[in-house]
Amino acid sequence: MAKIWNDIEITWDGESYTIRPTMDFINKLEQGDGMSLSRLLLQIHNRDIPIGRTCEVIARTLRYAGAKVTAEDVFMHAGGLSAELVEVASLILIGCMPASEGDSKKKLVKRSAKSTGVKSTD
């Protein structure tokens, strides 16, 4: 059986973490009001996602991988408001969507927000 998701690789403070977006990971991301994948993706699509939510998505991803980081840490590390934070959160969320049968080679482009970067791995 082919894997459903591509791994997400995220770099924080020079250390690389790899996360397989399993249902457990997705459940961790979705905890809290307004944090469903569909709502977050819609907010990103509409360019109406609060920066705190983008930082929380990134921080939850890093914590799931074992890093000790808060949403505030992500915000401060990126230097505050940053379009790159939205892009990184977007790539994490897209990575949580399973590849269709015809798109098993779905790729994410490596991006970075200061020392935070995301890419998919095969």
Give the Cα separation of 60 and 110 in Å (integer).
Answer: 19
Taking 70 as the threshold, does the pLDDT of residue 103 lie above it?
no
Judge whether residue 104 has pLDDT over 50. no
pLDDT of residue 121 exceeding 50, the answer is no
pLDDT bin (cut points 50, 70, 90) of residue 81 is confident
23 pLDDT exceeds 60?
Answer: yes
Closest among 85, 38, 12 to 29, alpha carbons compared: 38
The model's pTM is: 0.78
Where exactly are the structural domains of the chain? Answer: 7-121
DSSP characters for 66-117? Answer: T----HHHHHHHTTSS-HHHHHHHHHHHHHTSPPPGGGTT-----EEETTEE
Q: 29: which DSSP letter?
A: H
More confident residue, 98 or 96: 96
pLDDT the model gives residue 100: 64
pLDDT at position 3: 61
Contact 20, 10 (CB under 8 A): no
